[in-house]
Amino acid sequence: MNSTHLLVAADAVSRQYGQGLSAVVAVSTATCEVEPGARIALVGPSGSGKSTLLQLLGGLDVPDGGQIAWPALGSRDELRPGKVAYVFQTPSLLPALSVVENVELPLLLGNRAPALARRAACASLDQLGLTHLAERLPEELSGGQAQRVAVARALVAKPRLILADEPTGQLDHATAAQLLDSLLAALVGTDTALLIATHDRAVAGRMERSWQMQHGILEVS
């Protein structure tokens, strides 16, 4: 089958931490594919290897075994900034930069002209209902607001793939639902794929498919 449209294709990838008796196999021979427009939940208990798998799929880490490729995106060093975006569990905003400066950063790192980067950052903030927070510093935000800003930053460069690592893990249910609503709404009409690690069933239930992870073993559906 022709697989050139796939955003990422992993074939029997493994990642182990440490050596010998103390070695931990975080991901064991995982095989999976992400197509454009996919909405996938990666579900599993703490320590099952979800974060490690996301890091491998995003090219932030390299496997010890198996193959990983990004047929539609290019080589590993072409993925960022821009084609693949991350949202982490804890807000990862730079504390010295304002909200709008944080959001435009991926574009500036991608050599976009400052005026264009600012315009796109403002549009992304507007889409998430955050315009009124543009000049604030991260320390002046609630946890839910900071995660929304992280989502605005992930969306700003119109990535092809968003990898979200328990993005609602520290939010109450209502705030978590709102964050997911905004993210899914922002992706309507795009072919951006979303892979979201979660142990929140409400979050997983909003995705088209769930992949299960248990002791480093991935089961895709």
Residues of this chain that bind Mg ion (CB under 5 A): 50-51
47 sits near ligand ADP (criterion: CB under 6 A): yes
CB of 92 to Mg ion, least distance (A): 14
If the CB atoms of residues 60 and 108 are measured against ligand ADP, the closer one turns out to be 60
Which of ligand ADP, Mg ion, none is residue 205 near (CB under 5 to 8 Å by kind)?
none
What are residue 139's phi and psi, to 5 degrees? -65, -15
Among 2, 46, 75, 111, binds ligand ADP (CB under 6 A): 46
Task: Provide the CB-side half-sphere exposure for 181 (13 A, CA).
Answer: 8
Q: How many positions of this chain bind ligand ADP (CB under 6 A)?
A: 12
Token digits for 176?
């978590």
Q: Which does 145 bind (CB under 5 to 8 A by kind): Mg ion, ligand ADP, none?
A: none
> How far, rounded to the nearest angstrom, does the alpha carbon of residue 53 sit from its chain's CA centroid?
12
- Per residue, the 3-state secondary structure of 85-134, as one string, reads EEECCCCCCCCCCCHHHHHHHHHHHCCCCHHHHHHHHHHHHHHCCCHHHC
Q: Are 75 and 8 in contact (CB under 8 A)?
A: no
CA-based R_g, the chain, Å: 17
Between 42 and 107, name the residue whose CB sits nearer to ligand ADP.
42
Q: What is the rounded distance in angstroms from the CA atom of residue 60 to the CA atom of residue 86?
A: 10
Binding mask 4-43 for ligand ADP (x = CB under 6 A): -------------xx-----x-x-----------------
Residue of 50, 112, 118, 148 interacting with ligand ADP (CB under 6 A) = 50
Positions in the binding site for ligand ADP (CB under 6 A):
17-18, 24, 26, 44, 46-52
